[in-house]
Structure 1
């Protein structure tokens, strides 16, 4: 599927998509550090920076454990990734000397994940977010305190060819599209689109 933005944006935002086929080649530590550095600079309420990242790579002590958290269908393709990253977010933050509930912890962690994904792409690596995994098992096995929400697991790797991917996923291994702004952005309430349906002139 060909992707094209309706309005001017950097190519980075259109080029980022979520493949399942990965080469499995080792990811350099410098790439991970750069992607996590980008995540570090995401905006957050109270500058609480609620995100935490737990990372594992093939061959290390945690790799098989993380694969075991995944639903079987996700494990089929994610086992070929170069890293798996578990995203947590702290439910609490400090405000004027008090510990308070941070109601935007998941929202802010999402901003950090987007930074991570885009920086990885700039370096030639793709990412795929995974929601299909056993969060309870992850919490118990990794001794994650209840103060942290478990958000998602991210697979990172170099995009591979279809022959590296289980045939079950071949039909979906293409970039998908997006609905138009007219169906997404509204003027004051959900009753009236904020913009017309027209695309910007070339």
Structure 2
């Protein structure tokens, strides 16, 4: 794969600049339990509203039944590449607890998952988040209780080598430049008036 570091207007931390979401993964590479534990520990220490800690993860490693059930819940287009991941995680939001509704639960899962993804980079791994899965199938497959909402699946793995073969435009898509809106269209002093 080509160098996918972000082209930024100012220097940012290398872990953030190096983070990207590949689909072309090494289907033989393993994600160790130790590394998975580090990812989940990073997620566990994310901030949350009132320290409600709403993020929960169902964790599957390639070859186990949990992995297969998560994989089976994915859309066909995501299954086509995600089967090469070393681990598949189902991120869920705990939307209620014994105190009632958990405010901003989805936001809390987003914060936790970004910690997880950045820790993956620090561990020499990559992680791609997917909304393309059947939530009801996942709910049924894992017997998720009321008050637990499946939000996203995260594929964790090792990027394939640059000369790895791909299918149906995978290599071209992986090598395409990354794009973001410019900072002038992202941060404002007044709406439409660039902050920088």
Instruction: Say yes or no: TM over 0.5.
Output: yes
Q: Deviations over 1:47-102 (max 9, x none)?
A: 011000101111112222221111111111000000000000111256xxxx1322
> Does structure 2 conserve the Cα–Cα contact (< 8 Å) formed by 1:22 and 1:164?
no
- 1:1-202 maps to which residues of 2 (within 5 A)? 3-24=6-27, 25-93=29-97, 99-161=99-161, 163-174=164-175, 176-187=178-189, 189-195=190-196
Task: Extract unaligned runs of 5+ from structure 2.
Answer: none
**Does structure 2 conserve the Cα–Cα contact (< 8 Å) formed by 1:23 and 1:164?**
no
SS at match of 1:26: coil
Segment drifting more, 79-88 vs 138-147: 138-147
Q: Compute the TM-score of the two structures, normalised by the length of structure 2.
A: 0.90
Residue 2 of structure 1, CA deviation:
6.3
- Count, aligned residues: 190
Check 1:150–1:165 CA distance in 2 against 1; reply closer, same or farther (3 A cut).
same
Determine helix, strand or coil for the equivalent of 1:55: strand
**Any idea what the Cα deviations from partners look like across 1:131-184, whole Å, max 9, x if unmatched?**
111011111121112301211000000000363532332221135122122111
Instruction: Give, in angstroms, the shift of residue 19 of structure 1.
Output: 0.6
State the alpha-carbon separation in 2 of the partners of residues 63 and 26 from structure 1: 13
Partners of 1:102 and 1:164 lie apart in 2 by 45
Structure of greater Rg: 1
Normalising by structure 1, report the TM-score.
0.87
**CA-atom RMSD, angstroms?**
1.7
Quote the Cα distance in structure 1 between the aligned partners of 2:5 and 2:154. 25
List, as ranges, runs of 4+ consecutive aligned residues in structure 1 with deviation greater than 4 Å.
none
